[in-house]
Structure 1
Amino acid sequence: MTIRLVIFILLTLSPLVYSAPFESCPTKAFLFQGNPTTVYGVNLVSGTASILQNDVGTLESESSAGNVNGVGFDDYIDPGGTNYRYLYGFNTSHYKFVRLDSDFKQTELPVTNQPSGTFYVGDVYGHHYYFYRKAKGFYKINLDESAANYLDVQTISTTANRNFTDFAFHPRTGKLYGVDNNSGVLYVVDKDTGHTQGLGTTGEKGTFGAGYFDVNGYFYVSRNQDGKIYRIDLSTIDLPGDTPPYAAIEFAAGPLSGQNDGARCANAPLIDESEGTSTIDFGDAPDSYSSSLAMNGARHEIVADGPYLGATAPDGEVDARLGILSDDTNNDAGNTNDEDGIALVTGLVKGLDNIVIVTASSEGYLQAWFDWNRDGDFDDADEQVASDRLVSQGANNLVVRVPVGADTGTSWARFRFGSQTGISYNGGATDGEVEDHSIEISDLGVSYSYYPENGSWVTLAYEDLWPIEGDFDMNDVVFHYRTVSVIKDGELLRVDAYGQLLAIGASYHNGFAIRIPDVQADDVDTSKMRFRYTTLDEDGNGVTVEQASPIESSSDELIAIIAQDVWDLVSTSCEFYRTDASCSDHIQFAFELSLPFSDPQPNGAINTLYDPFIFATASRFHGSIFTSHPGREWEVHLADVSPTEQASTSFFNQQEDTSDLSIDRFYKNKNNLPWSMEVATQWKHPRSGVDLLKAYPDFEGYVTSNKALNDDWYQSENRIDGKIFP
């Protein structure tokens, strides 16, 4: 009989007897997503999320778990020492108030005077649960079992105009804060009256389905649409002199969801592990570069078998160790020198390319910044030198170009590596490592010579019917083009060339190349060479892709093949590309070429244009005057520029060509009209089939006078607008 009675009592006791509270105030934030609800633990420092519970249990009398939302954490221990650390919220599927234990199992609590409908916004403060719904009201429930109104819903206000999807209590002030989704305005809510006061815009909008505080008074909101976690600094909001605005700063990237709610023990720091056991790696540059947690410093969660830089996995820190405490200078028992993933092989010299060896434990993405102007941040233009750069396991070469305008002296560089893309110089990352390095920028008297002036273009226009005169519309291949010569002590150190493909008015297929006269192909330092294609959209924005070496291996002289066939660089539904006014294609292609030399080249190699030219694409028809496809042997250079070693001189003096090698006359007819030309501006080319002399009548006098007259022939006031491409 006694045994049966005990069994009966155990079977009939409320499930509350067995639900265990949380033993401590957890540092992780809790994220509730989906229906049925999955509970995640989120490390706000890095954004890393892991599933804590994918089965919150089914309530009595219900057939499904449903969605739990509007959750808040109650960090309450009564005067007698009884622990009441539970989570409270609403089961929105079944319209019931629930409590969740340390295993995230839900239990219904029988509240009285419950308003109709369901609720998605809630938090706990002072052993009371507060909940809210726009256009319905603001309420609270007493969670004190000894109180006369235990679990009785009290209406605070029926005025609820703010579009909150979560809010949270400040742990020190006891005030309630939320961000209006539509306006992005931060509001403080009076918990006793429901009155709201706007504190200004946060600068961000969206569905902020989860809100959290930490013990220092920082407010975190997670946006459902993209999972981004923002931090709003309310750490001194109760102190004199603290004023708006309160900007939402991107802090980390967490999980995204269409149905989000969050809760956290606001009395916990973000990191409470003792020194040496933290799982977060911080940078150690001075704090103006955003290194410490308070400055939203660069930081990575250390993951077992995860990616890192160098041969030594990073150690964890509770916060950034700056100055003499950094990994670079202090190797005490709790601080391993793990800054071994970055090696600067050459000095950082203004205007020159320098090699940085990046050693990675596995494949991953590299981001890198250099403070070129030494102003204590990585915010300035051109200071990010690597963006989502895919590196392989082992040693990788990163070529870093120091701007000619860099400030000399000591500065800092930051390298971040991991599996994520798109991370900034600050904020959290879910894996990987950050390394900060002190650098020295020196000046060895290097100068840049721009042609034309810095940031401008010349126009190159080619006719591809040579040696036949043809229609002379000068639009078969048209490029914007500019060069930079890097010079020291009168010698050439590097040549940079840039271009944009403006038009193709030819049915023949042509390639485009650049020769550097008087320089040999094997003079190029290929370890620092740069060659990139950029595909442009209608707004001029582009995606840049590194290309293989363009150096023509069959030539002794230095020739860079930009494209074997310019038609491969663009897409159009028209017969030609940007030569017919009825076809409004945008500029689609740009290139960047950088040719650094192993040894300085003599003064005679310094040029302005160098030698851009077109050639016939291999295995393509290029006119009936040729008995076979001429391919690489057919070239057209600017007037009076000699051909390369690949060209066939047998094509000279055919048809209308009057080239004469003995007097260095090339690519002109008897009237001195060329088959290609450089125009010293961003010139508008003729339409298809329109003779250049019809579009720009003054050009004839310019040529026949051997450039003595009409040197402004290409200016807009001297053209016939109806005959040019708009």
Structure 2
Amino acid sequence: MKCLRHSLLACSLALVSTSAYSIIPHPFTDNGGCPSDAFLFQGNPSTVYKIDLSSGFYQASDAMTSTINAAGYNETDDYIYGFDNNNFSVVRVNQLFQFENVAVTGIPGSTSFPAGDVFNNKYYIYKSGLGMYEIDLTTLVATQVMTAGNANLGLADMAFHPDGSGRLFAVDNSSKKLYEISNYDSAATFTEIGDTGISGSSTFGAQYFDASGYMYLSRNQDGLVFQVDISDLSSISATAVQYSAGPTSGTNDGARCANAPILAENTDFGDAPDTYKTSLAANGARHYNVSEVNYFFGSEIDTEGDALVSPNSDDTDGSPNDEDGISFPANFKQGSDALIQVTVGGAAPGYVNAWIDWNNNGVFDESTEHAITDVLLNGGDGVTPASHTLKVRVPDDATTGQIWARFRIAKDAGALSYGGVSYGEVEDHQVTVDAQAVTHNWYPSSSTWVTLVYEDDWPQQGDFDFNDVAMYYRVDKVTDTNGDVLRYDIYGNLRAYGADFANGFAVKIDGIATGAVDSDRTKLVINGVTQHTTQILESGTTDAVVIISNNLKTEISTPTCSGSLGSYYRVWTGCSSDAADQFQFEASIPFTTPIASASAPSMPLNPFIFGTPGIDHGDGTRASDGRAIEIHLKNYDVTSKANTTYFGTDDDTSAYVDGDCPGSSCDTYHNANGVPWAILIDTAWDHPNEGTNILTAYPDLETFATSGGLSNTDWYLRTNAVVSKLFE
């Protein structure tokens, strides 16, 4: 009778019992013994997880009645031996995960052991500051083989190499270095091999080998499994790579039959060339897919025991064609955004990642070619798949012609371009990149900013502190070989928000019709995350208007230090703890046909703030006007949605005439002294603190304004400011 590999129902097999072992025997004799699963003992009391190391898929047993640690698989009798931390005794664990005490003599009493493994019918246990003990599983007598003085590493587990020579290895939790334990049969010591390169806090509670000599480290904190290649004992590299992921736990120990190979079954692989890490031997991208089928691309998914790498494919081996979830509406172009159609067939939302080999060197670089990162996409309704469009910027120097791309969908975030993941699918595709020469024309430069500041009480003067909205701002005008404009990329960083009103931020592209914009390829990136489903081209306007945010208040969290001062952002003197940037953006506005250079608007385009739609923006006539309230730079045009009747009222002395803007006759947004409600400063700038009139903080501004910009042109410099009136 055979047991199912991934079932916790075990077979009852006969074994002669001895006086030392009294429970009904059930050795791990699936497939003739030496199972390919790994076994994790986690928690207090322990639950045992059977782990398919190739994918990280796991199943849990019922909780045991004690906490088992220092587990090791004995290939002599096909049982697991461990240490019962509650009763301070050695135990033998059978295939049903029942355990019994083993009466060992010669080990210290009332102490636990965190690390252990079995070799040649001898069980070795270790504890930092106490030493290592060898327990003969025939005589059940323990001998100390490492002194307390030599036991100076914080090991949570250790593992014997499968070559039969009995070489013992372990990774230290503190240094994350690989060590070999030498002379463990007499006077054991540690020999440092090298650094694994694993970063972050790490407790490697489970460590074990496979038949090829690869060592595996299961990290307690996140369940990640790392692989170290010790297949060549004459030339060992300690460097670890992420392999798969299992369950997390604060208490973790593992055992595995070291002479068992790593097997993959019910697993989906990609089919790109193996230089991209496609096959199991190359630690290729793979997903276990049996228990849950909610996470897949397209209409179906198939599984295999290993990848059929290009030029082969699992779509040509008689199985269903499951490479049906990713498509490309058009070829990619150098220097432009590409559209990718993603179809999610499962009924649950899944995290999508993609890598594109832009330089066509046969490798997916995790740092430069991770084109889509952990985008959570909704699934279908169980019958009809869900369709999504994602946007990816093609590098200017991407290799032209066909290049490889890899797409993964998974239940959890964090997938790499390689390695095993439970639940999901991988699809590898070739995409075509067309040549396109582009030139970047930066305003003010690629590494500097201008500062935009706004007073949102217009047409009333208000407190005139010009910190209601303060924004760093720059623009990249991307042109083709003729100098015509392919697109504008607008960048910003919110520096302050000192307004009671709800204000949005937008940019008008003067003289360019809304219909000239390729609306499908417009893109907004907030704090480094592409908002794939956000449409930033405003509808119902004559000239193109790009909405960066309808309400900047919602883009920032409540400042930490304002307290009773009010929930303003970066406006109160002394609130330096609110210095962290909270809202940075990139908005891309491509055109269906390049805009002739002569027709393109001048810099800085036309950035403005506006009242959030549906929210009152003041008292009296401005109440409930919302989006109709716009505040632009002095003598800049409004959009077709603005209420122009406010010009020439209250403190505003503008003489706006529809049709005069844009142009030299445009007369907007200034008071009797020529001071505007929006100012552009040609550099990064220190704005006034809350409630301080800008003319008090920067006294030379009034002369600059009344002179028409001829005098005191350096009014904005810190050396000309009353520094005590500035936010710092």
TM-score, normalised via structure 2 length: 0.85
Aligned partner (choices 560, 570, 574) of residue 578 of structure 1:
570
Shift of 1:312: 3.5
Match of 1:593 in 2: 587
Match of 1:123 in 2: 117
Letter in 2 for 1:308: F
The question of 1:559 aligning with 2:554 is answered: no
CA distance in 2, matches of 1:111, 1:13: 9
CA distance in 2, matches of 1:455, 1:380: 25
Match of 2:639 in 1: 644
Match of 2:446 in 1: 454
CA distance in 2, matches of 1:374, 1:21: 47
1:417/1:21 Cα in 2 relative to 1: closer, same or farther (>3 Å)?
A: closer
Shift of 1:651: 2.5
Q: 8 Å contact 1:613–1:635 — kept in the other structure?
A: yes
Shift of 1:43: 1.0
Match of 1:154 in 2: 143
Moved more, 163-172 or 521-530: 521-530
Q: 8 Å contact 2:134–2:185 — kept in the other structure?
A: no
The question of 1:442 aligning with 2:441 is answered: no
Over residues 59-117 of structure 1, what are the superposed CA-to-partner deviations in whole Å (9 max), with x where a residue is unaligned? xxxxxx322322211223xxxxxxx2222223332333332333333233333334323
Q: 8 Å contact 2:17–2:25 — kept in the other structure?
A: no
CA distance in 2, matches of 1:340, 1:721: 62
Q: 8 Å contact 2:161–2:167 — kept in the other structure?
A: yes
Aligned partner (choices 346, 359, 370) of residue 330 of structure 2:
346
Q: Unpaired segments of 5 or more residues in structure 1?
A: 1-8, 57-64, 77-83, 145-149, 535-541
1:322/1:548 Cα in 2 relative to 1: closer, same or farther (>3 Å)?
A: closer
Match of 2:471 in 1: 479
Query: Within 5 A, what are the aligned runs for 1:151-550?
Result: 151-159=140-148, 160-172=151-163, 173-190=165-182, 191-193=184-186, 194-204=188-198, 205-236=201-232, 238-239=233-234, 242=235, 244=237, 246-271=238-263, 278-306=265-293, 307-318=295-306, 320-327=307-314, 331-333=316-318, 337-362=321-346, 363-379=349-365, 381-391=367-377, 392-393=379-380, 394=385, 395-469=387-461, 472-488=464-480, 489-534=482-527, 548-550=534-536
Over residues 410-466 of structure 1, what are the superposed CA-to-partner deviations in whole Å (9 max), with x where a residue is unaligned? 432111112121122222101111122223322223333332212432111122343
Q: 8 Å contact 2:335–2:436 — kept in the other structure?
A: no
- Partner of 2:724: helix, strand, or coil? helix
Q: 8 Å contact 2:21–2:100 — kept in the other structure?
A: no
- CA RMSD in angstroms comes to 3.1
Shift of 1:551: 3.9
CA distance in 1, matches of 2:517, 2:287: 39
CA distance in 1, matches of 2:371, 2:541: 33
- Partner of 2:575: helix, strand, or coil? coil
CA distance in 2, matches of 1:499, 1:55: 54
CA distance in 2, matches of 1:126, 1:14: 19
Over residues 703-725 of structure 1, what are the superposed CA-to-partner deviations in whole Å (9 max), with x where a residue is unaligned? 44434455444344443423322
Q: 8 Å contact 1:531–1:547 — kept in the other structure?
A: no
1:25/1:608 Cα in 2 relative to 1: closer, same or farther (>3 Å)?
A: same
Q: 8 Å contact 1:466–1:657 — kept in the other structure?
A: no
CA distance in 2, matches of 1:216, 1:623: 76
Aligned partner (choices 37, 41, 46) of residue 50 of structure 2:
41
CA distance in 2, matches of 1:424, 1:12: 51
Letter in 2 for 1:163: G
1:107/1:714 Cα in 2 relative to 1: closer, same or farther (>3 Å)?
A: same
Moved more, 42-51 or 401-410: 401-410
- Partner of 2:352: helix, strand, or coil? strand
Letter in 1 for 2:674: N
After the TM superposition, which parts of structure 1 deviate over 6 Å for at least 4 consecutive aligned residues? 9-14
CA distance in 1, matches of 2:455, 2:261: 71
1:157/1:464 Cα in 2 relative to 1: closer, same or farther (>3 Å)?
A: closer
Match of 1:4 in 2: none
1:311/1:407 Cα in 2 relative to 1: closer, same or farther (>3 Å)?
A: same
Q: 8 Å contact 2:652–2:669 — kept in the other structure?
A: no
1:669/1:216 Cα in 2 relative to 1: closer, same or farther (>3 Å)?
A: same
CA distance in 2, matches of 1:95, 1:402: 61
Name the count of aligned residue pairs: 676
Shift of 1:27: 0.8
Over residues 124-158 of structure 1, what are the superposed CA-to-partner deviations in whole Å (9 max), with x where a residue is unaligned? 112222222222232222334xxxxx222233233
CA distance in 1, matches of 2:622, 2:46: 76
1:15/1:594 Cα in 2 relative to 1: closer, same or farther (>3 Å)?
A: same
Moved more, 187-196 or 303-312: 303-312
Shift of 1:360: 2.0
Match of 1:682 in 2: 684
1:123/1:616 Cα in 2 relative to 1: closer, same or farther (>3 Å)?
A: closer
1:717/1:291 Cα in 2 relative to 1: closer, same or farther (>3 Å)?
A: farther
Q: 8 Å contact 1:659–1:667 — kept in the other structure?
A: no
CA distance in 2, matches of 1:151, 1:627: 89
Match of 1:5 in 2: none
CA distance in 2, matches of 1:407, 1:456: 30
Over residues 591-641 of structure 1, what are the superposed CA-to-partner deviations in whole Å (9 max), with x where a residue is unaligned? 3333333444444134432211123455535366x4865544432211211
- Partner of 1:377: helix, strand, or coil? coil
CA distance in 1, matches of 2:667, 2:427: 58
1:521/1:369 Cα in 2 relative to 1: closer, same or farther (>3 Å)?
A: same
Q: 8 Å contact 1:693–1:699 — kept in the other structure?
A: yes
Letter in 1 for 2:296: Y
Shift of 1:255: 0.9
Shift of 1:526: 3.3
Letter in 2 for 1:302: N
Match of 1:147 in 2: none
CA distance in 2, matches of 1:398, 1:215: 42
- Partner of 1:321: helix, strand, or coil? coil
1:114/1:475 Cα in 2 relative to 1: closer, same or farther (>3 Å)?
A: closer
Shift of 1:232: 1.7
Q: Which has the larger radius of gyration?
A: 1
- Partner of 2:311: helix, strand, or coil? helix
Match of 2:40 in 1: 31
Q: 8 Å contact 2:366–2:416 — kept in the other structure?
A: no
Over residues 285-309 of structure 1, what are the superposed CA-to-partner deviations in whole Å (9 max), with x where a residue is unaligned? 3444333444432221122552222
- Partner of 2:404: helix, strand, or coil? strand
The question of 1:634 aligning with 2:617 is answered: no
TM-score, normalised via structure 1 length: 0.85
